[in-house]
Amino acid sequence: MSDLRRFRNPVLFNEWKMRMRTNRSPWIILLYLLVLGAMTLTLIFFMTNGGSYYNPNDTRELFMMLSVFQLGMICFVVPGLTSGVISGERERQTLSVLLTTNVSATRLILGKWLASLSFMTFLVIATIPLYAIVFLYGGISPAQVIKVFGFYVITMFGIGSIGVLMSTLIKRTGIATVVTYAVVFGYAIGSSILAEIIREFIRYQRRSGGMSSATMPDWPDLLHNFNPLFAMLNIFEEGPQLRIGNVDPYAVYCLFFGIITLFCLLLAIYLIQPVKPRFRKVKEEQ
């Protein structure tokens, strides 16, 4: 039992209670499902030619569009859930108090991070019946369904860790939220723009050197594989794909976002740790 207690995180349990017991949580879940449900029914309406019939061959396209909508909702909701977890404690002047307790900086960061993402995970799980409606018509393999939900988890981990890091670096929650959104959407758009800029630069260099007929290299597409939208399309073999040997682009994306998650969380833990000894020194002087 003593060994299990070492893994208990009081910050995580307290955040779970605070988030799940509020009156706002069921309304958020309802609104989230209403938005995705309305999108799904609207797509089905247009695919059935105004309600006449449904072609099962369109199931793949419908499932793909629903997955992209869900990804957009994740990219929109997760920064708002995570970008105020530390700055909010700082604004309420409770961060220093937390750091003087037995709760370490590691448990504090991980507890806040996991509590925020667990609520988003609950929202994603609540959408499974919507996917079941689409999955009922066939055309989608179980492996693709598992890949899509695994993709959601790794994307939430990466974006959530960025939000926690911005919340640690910036004192004001409003500014931290804006910066988090700017970083997430700037990365999503900038990675693809950078890939196209590199391709155009290579074309220009080859035209200047009289090599315009040479085959364009595929390595700039690697940046597309880091882009959440194109990585999602790669699951359905619809986007630009680049394999490094026999490595699946899906694995490349998961590895890249795993590194981002680890880096951001470790940096947040490192930045928040020095607060603890400084506060204790002040208390001793008083």
Q: pLDDT by residue (tens digit) across 115-167? A: 888 888 888 888 888 877 777 766 677 788 888 889 999 999 999 999 999 99
Tell me how far apart the alpha carbons of residues 226 and 222 are, in angstroms, rounded to a whole number: 7
In this prediction, residue 3 carries a pLDDT of 44
**pLDDT recorded at residue 189:** 85
Whether the pLDDT of residue 219 is over 60: the answer is yes
pLDDT bracket for residue 275 (50, 70, 90): very low
- The amino acid occupying position 253 is Y
pLDDT score for 241? 56
Contacts of 43 (CB under 8 A, 6+ apart): 62, 65, 66
**% of the chain beyond a pLDDT of 70:** 74
Q: What is the DSSP letter of 101?
A: S
Residue range 205-233: average pLDDT? 71
Distance CA 177, CA 40 (A): 29
Helix (H, G, I), strand (E, B) or coil at 143: helix
- Residue 194: C-alpha distances to residues 102, 208, 223 (Å): 46, 21, 8
Model pLDDT, residue 183: 92
Max mean pLDDT range (62-66, 243-247, 258-262): 258-262
Residue 238 — pLDDT band, cuts 50, 70, 90? low
pLDDT digits (tens, 9 = 90+) for 42-94: 877 777 665 566 666 667 777 888 888 888 888 888 998 888 888 888 888 87
| Mean per-residue pLDDT, 211-230 | 70
Residues 14-20, mean pLDDT to the nearest whole number: 68
pLDDT score, position 228: 86
Residue 280: the pLDDT is: 45
pLDDT of 1 strictly over 60? no
pLDDT at 4 over 50: no
Percent residues over pLDDT 90 in the chain: 13
* Gap between the terminal Cα atoms of the chain: 39
- pLDDT for residue 281: 47
pLDDT at 247: 64
**Between 97 and 169, whose confidence is greater?**
169
